[in-house]
Amino acid sequence: MKALMIVLAACCLAACATHSGVPAAPTLFLVGDSTMADQPEHKYPEHGWGQMLPEFLAPGLHVQNHAMNGRSTKSFRDEGRWQMVVDQLQQGDLVVIGFGHNDQKIQDPARYAEPWTDYRANLLAYIEEARSKGADVILVTPIRRRHFDDQGRLQETLGDYPAVVRELARDAAVPLVDLNQLTAAWLTQAGPEASKQLYMHTAPGQYANLPPEGKQDDTHLQVDGARQVAALFAAEVKRQQLRLARWLK
C-alpha cells in the first residue's frame, strides 16, 4: 500500500508540473563535427560550441553531445553514430544537426559528400528519421573558418555547403540557425588580429599539453570563441522563438 501511495504521489507531481505551464524537459541531441563537439582535456583550450551551450541552458534540459571530430554526414552514419541517436529519440526531443567542414574533403572517400547531391540527401535523411520519432530538428550551417585575405576581408572556404543547408531548411520546413552568416559577421567585427584569440592560435610554449611550437588553427575554437558561438546560437533560437527557447536562460 505504501509503495502504491508513492507511485500515485509521483504521478500527481508530474501532472502538476505539466499543467503548471512548465514544459517537461526533453533531451537535446547535438549532431555534428569537431566545431560542435566536446573536446577532451588534452586538447585544451580547444572547445566545440556545443560544449559551451549548457552554460546558456536552464536546469533540467538533458543534453547529449554526439558531435565528433572529423566526421561528415556520411561517416557519422557509416560509423553507426547516427543510429545511436535515433535509437534513443523520443517524442518531443530536439536534434541540432550541423556538418560541412569534413564533407568537403574530396580526397577522402570515407567522408566526402558532394554538396548538392549526397550531402543534401544525407541531411534530409537525418531530418526525416528524426521526425519519424517525433523529434524536432534545427539545422545549423557550418561556422566560418578564420580566413582573411591580404586586405583583411573574410573569405568563405566552405563552398556550396552553407547554401545547401539554407535551401534544404526552406524546402523541408526546418528551422535554421545560420551560424555561417552569424560567425562571418562576428569574425569581421573582431578582425584578423583579435580573432586569433577566438580560434586555436596559441604561442610557442603557452600550453604544456600542446606542441611546443604552438598552434595556428583557423577552424577550431578556443574556450571563449566557443562560448561566443554558443551565445550566437542561443540568441538566434530566442529571436526565432523556436521551441528550444523555452529551455534557454
* 199-202 β-sheet, strand order: 46-47, 215-222, 199-202
- Residue 18 falls within a domain, yes or no? no
Grid cell locating 37: 563537439
**Residue 36 belongs to domain spanning:** 24-247
Q: What is the pLDDT along the chain (249 residues), one digit of tens a residue?
A: 444 343 344 444 444 444 444 456 899 999 999 999 999 999 999 999 999 999 999 988 999 999 999 999 999 999 999 999 999 999 999 999 999 999 999 999 999 999 999 999 999 999 999 999 999 999 999 999 999 999 999 999 999 999 999 999 999 999 999 999 999 999 999 999 999 999 999 999 999 999 999 999 999 999 999 999 999 999 999 999 999 999 999
Q: How far apart are CA 181 and CA 190, in angstroms?
A: 14
Is 29 within the bounds of a domain?
A: yes
- In a domain, residue 221? The reply is yes
Domain membership flag for residue 165? yes
The CATH number for 164's domain is: 3.40.50.1110
Q: Are 26 and 62 in contact (CB under 8 A)?
A: yes
Whether 1 maps to a domain, the answer reads no
CA neighbor of 162 nearest in space, from 147, 184, 146: 184
Assess if residue 201 is contained within a domain.
Answer: yes
**Domain-located, residue 77:** yes
Strands 215-222 and 46-47, bridge-based pairing: antiparallel
d(CA 72, CA 84): 16
Do the domain assignments include residue 67?
A: yes
Q: How many domains does the chain have?
A: 1
Position 231, amino acid? A
* CA separation for the pair 158, 139 (Å, rounded): 16
Supply the pTM of this predicted model: 0.90
